[in-house]
Amino acid sequence: MPQPTIKVISGPTVEIEYAGLHLLTDPTFDPETTYDLGGGASLRKTTGAPVEAESVLPLDAVLLSHDHHPDNLDNKGRELLSQVPLTLTTRDGEKRLGGNAHGLSPWEEYEITSTQGTKVTVTALPALHGPDGDDTEEIIGQVIGFLLTAEGEPTIYISGDNASLKVVEEIAERTSDIDTAVIFAGAARSPFFDGAPLTLDGAGAVEAAKILKPSHVVIAHADSWEHFSDSFENALQAFNDAGLGKLLI
């Protein structure tokens, strides 16, 4: 079975070559800067992207977990979307972005045919960008993850910004044979939830891997932003401590 090429550029931005498609998650290419969110809130990017946005072109699609936070779609990332034929994102994201954006609800599918003629199914997955609770999505907004499947190809899970292991369990119940899990970690924090993590930390990423049972794990969303409270190195150590370091690529 051919293996996809997966490269973490920085933060949540991951370049994926899969079944003849060139894909990118959550584009963030701005230099170091601070974003004013209003109401006295801000996000600070501590390290700029190591490459220019144009270097990843051409793309077949962007898989955008959500559009309304600059650490998942920054200014240069927004500019990039106009040069991409398709952006798959949330239903609310489609309304805000317009243009080439196509919104999906959790468990809804979208098919893309590669230039090689391979039909790739992109399934939107549930994600909870904060603590378990009925009001989390109402406060933080819609977020999705993605599942990539194609005949004769390995299956790729992309978590998006998710902090809930209950959500991971739901996904595991409805999917099988995940080859590679791209897990957004970093334990992002916000005062809106009294410091509760909005994404998994390293230990949570380990638990997600135990639930999903992938053959490979890629850690993303764990660097370049001040509000990421758990580092990439800590995530790696958590996998090694759990005896799962061999899964990491």
The domain that contains 124 carries what CATH number?
A: 3.60.15.10
The rounded mean pLDDT for the chain is 94
pTM as predicted:
0.96
Q: What percent of the chain has pLDDT over 70?
A: 98
The tally of domains found in the chain comes to 1
pLDDT digits (tens, 9 = 90+) for 140-198: 889 999 999 999 999 999 999 999 999 999 999 999 899 999 999 999 998 766 778 99
User: What angle, rounded to 10 degrees, do the helices at 202-212 and 165-174 form?
Assistant: 20
Report the pLDDT averaged over residues 22-34: 97
Amino acid letter, residue 109: E
Report the pLDDT averaged over residues 55-83: 97
pLDDT digits (tens, 9 = 90+) for 104-124: 999 999 999 998 899 999 999
Tokens for 70?
Answer: 């600059």
**What range does the domain containing 34 cover?**
5-247
Nearest-CA neighbor of 60 among 122, 124, 3? 122
Q: In the Cβ-directed half-sphere of 108, how many Cα atoms lie within 13 Å?
A: 11
> With the C-alpha atoms ordered 144, 218, 74, 81, is the resulting torsion angle positive or negative?
negative
